[in-house]
């Protein structure tokens, strides 16, 4: 197999799986791991993949912190489908926690309170959506408001959470990596997200397929802290199988 053929094979496999280890590639291609590392270095120099911890990832995971109004436009169809499914999990007289992120906007628009619903949130921009329903009581977390995410972060928000207990947390992320776990671009956001996980009985991650195989600057938690992930059908079967093998409930929705 020529160099070009090996590179084509590697990229095709990454398109299917999202990530692949050096050892697995060496075995599949019947070459040494040294050869594979050289191949991956060349492909990384061409900005076709990202190398990390003995493996290759299709998309460079160190994503930038973009404004929320820009991010909302990306994968909007998938995010709406995820929001619809997530809203269907809200039960009568429920108490829920909603983190920041564009997918949370789509979730908020789909929530229809059954009985009395209490929502605690750090996201300033979803409050005007939720307060339209007189059956929804909203608790806005305080603190410093990030411009890019339009959400409160910091110790004051974390302290407020100590006084609450919620049935479920809806969490948005910037990256989901099978080895690294959940991540976001902001250190303070990650700290607040961890406090939210401790406050909720169940953590539900809402993430479209573009978030997989990526790593943000700040780690939130390991995948072992996640109960459920709701995503779209563009996630590779291999990744879905890996998540389910770790005991995570994965719900796949079709874009609407």
Domain boundaries, the chain: 3-57, 68-253
Most confident of 11-20, 116-125, 207-216: 116-125
Dmax (CA) of the chain: 66
Q: Where are the beta strands (DSSP E) in the chain?
A: 19-21, 50-52, 55-57, 95-98, 117-121, 136-140, 144-146, 151-153, 168-172, 175-177, 181-184, 203-206, 218-221, 228-232, 249-253
Q: pLDDT band at residue 66, thresholds of 50, 70 and 90?
A: low
Residue in 147, 159, 169 with CA at minimum distance from that of residue 221: 169
Structure confidence at residue 48 (pLDDT): 82
Evaluate whether 3-57 and 68-253 have a shared fold.
Answer: no
Full 3-state SS string of 102-171 = HHHHHHHHHCCCCCCEEEEECEHHHHHHHCCCCCEEEEECCCEEECCCCEEECHHHHHHHCCCCECEEEE
Contact between 185 and 217 (Cβ < 8 Å): yes
How would you classify residue 219: left for phi > 0, otherwise alpha for psi between -120 and 50, otherwise beta?
beta
80-89: average pLDDT: 97
Q: pLDDT band at residue 217, thresholds of 50, 70 and 90?
A: confident
pLDDT at 15 over 70: yes
Third-level CATH fold of 68-253: Rossmann fold (3.40.50)
Work out the mean pLDDT of the chain and round it to a whole number: 90
12-33: average pLDDT: 87
Structure confidence at residue 69 (pLDDT): 56
CATH dotted code for 3-57? 1.10.10.10
DSSP state of 235: S
| Locus of tokens 């489908």 | 81
- Range of weakest confidence among 16-30, 59-73, 189-203, 215-229: 59-73
Considering only residues 15 and 83, tell me which one the structure prediction assigns the higher pLDDT: 83
Structure confidence at residue 63 (pLDDT): 55
Structure confidence at residue 16 (pLDDT): 75
Considering only residues 215 and 118, tell me which one the structure prediction assigns the higher pLDDT: 118
Q: Is the pTM of this model over 0.85?
A: no
215-224: average pLDDT: 92
Considering only residues 58 and 138, tell me which one the structure prediction assigns the higher pLDDT: 138
CA distance 128 to 178: 35
115-127: average pLDDT: 96
Q: Where are the beta strands (DSSP E) in 6-63?
A: 19-21, 50-52, 55-57
């Amino acid at each position: 197999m020529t160099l070009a053929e090996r590179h084509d094979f590697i990229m095709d496999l990454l398109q299917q799986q999202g990530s692949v280890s050096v050892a697995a590639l060496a075995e599949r291609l019947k070459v040494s791991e040294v050869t594979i590392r050289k191949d991956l270095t060349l492909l990384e120099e061409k900005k076709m993949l990202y190398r990390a911890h003995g493996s290759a990832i299709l998309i460079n995971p160190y994503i930038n912190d973009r404004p929320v109004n820009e991010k909302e436009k990306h994968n909007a169809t998938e995010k709406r489908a995820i929001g619809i499914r997530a809203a269907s999990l809200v039960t009568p007289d429920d108490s829920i926690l909603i983190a920041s992120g564009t997918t949370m906007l789509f979730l908020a628009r789909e929530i229809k309170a059954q009985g009395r619903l209490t929502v605690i949130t750090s996201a300033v921009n979803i409050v005007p959506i939720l307060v339209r329903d007189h059956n929804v009581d909203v608790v806005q977390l305080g603190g410093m408001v990030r411009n890019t995410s339009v959400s409160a972060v910091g110790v004051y928000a974390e302290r407020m959470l100590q006084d609450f207990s919620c049935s479920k947390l809806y969490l948005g992320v910037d990256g989901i990596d099978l080895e690294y776990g959940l991540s976001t671009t902001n250190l303070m956001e990650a700290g607040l997200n961890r406090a939210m996980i401790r406050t909720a009985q169940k953590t539900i991650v809402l993430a479209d397929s573009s978030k997989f195989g990526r790593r943000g600057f700040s780690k939130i938690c390991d995948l072992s802290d996640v109960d459920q992930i709701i995503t779209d059908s563009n996630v590779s079967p291999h990744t879905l199988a890996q998540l389910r093998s770790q005991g995570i409930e994965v719900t796949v929705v079709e874009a609407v």
